[in-house]
Structure formats: C-alpha cells, structure tokens
Amino acid sequence: MNTIFNDTSTTELINRIQQLRETDTAKWGKMNSYQMLKHCTLGEEMFQGKKTYKRLFMGKLFGKMALKGILKNGSPIKKNQPTHPELVITGTGNFENERQKWIKLLKEYDTYSNNEFVHPFFGKMTKEQIGVFVYKHSDHHLKQFGK
C-alpha cells in the first residue's frame, strides 16, 4: 500500500500537486482548488504536530472503526466524507503559496517524529497508519480535482 513515508509515493503526489491550476474545478464536493490546498496543508500541519484540534465526541465513539475501514485495503477514500469543522475552508487566498506550502510539508515527512499523534476523529494513530492515511487523503483530494 502507498505511504507518505515512501519517497516514490511522495514524489508522485508532489508531481500531481504541481499539475494543479487555480482554475481547476472539483469533480465532487464544494471546495475550490485554493480551499482544497488550504485544507490539505492544515491537515499536514496537524499530522506533524504543528496544529492541534479538539477531539470530536463522534470520533471517540466511531473513530477507530472508521479508520480501520479506510486503511483496510488499497481502495481510495470515498467521495464527500465529513471533515473536522476547523478543516472546512471558505474564502480565498494565495493559491501558489498554499501549493508550495503543501509540497514543503509533504517533504517534511522524511524527518517525521510525531509518534504520539492523536487524530481529532480517529484517535491515536501509529506511524504506519499515518503514512497510509496521509497518502490516501492527498490522493483523494488530487483526484477530486482531476489530478
């Protein structure tokens, strides 16, 4: 299975990110391309311990089961999945800055050290789970924009 801790997988994601254009439209969902980039950079900052979000009650009940379903095989994340309220992005911003920030954050997984990470929905995650989830999440949003 692909993981963000594999250089080949990371390079593939970065190449796809570089193909994104500000004018790209989503094949599903409500985000525009800038909002997707911002959502993904906030996600990377969360996984790397640069930002934290409150644990959601529903996640305490169903998080482990949901994570197991997402990670059980190589299939992509399903379309239109819910997200943490603080990771819902509205408005506009600098597309190119956000794209470069996402690429930089993906490269930082080479030195990942947030071994006590607790996801606000899924709960405590192993490094292996984080690697697969980060890849799948990035892949999901790149496919959302046809990349």
The percent of residues above 70 in pLDDT, for the chain, comes to: 100
Average pLDDT, rounded, for the chain: 95
Kindly tell me the sign of the dihedral angle through the C-alpha atoms of 146, 40, 32, 71. Answer: positive
pLDDT for the residue numbered 108: 97
Q: pTM of the entire structure?
A: 0.95
pLDDT in tens, 2-21: 999 999 999 999 999 999 99
pLDDT in tens, 29-83: 999 999 999 999 999 999 999 999 999 999 999 999 999 999 998 899 999 888 9
Question: Helix (H) and strand (E) counts for the chain?
Answer: 5, 2
Is 90 exceeded by the pLDDT of residue 130? yes
CA 94 centroid distance within chain: 19
**Calpha distance 109→53 (Å, rounded):** 20
CA distances from 106 to 4, 60, 146 (A): 8, 28, 20
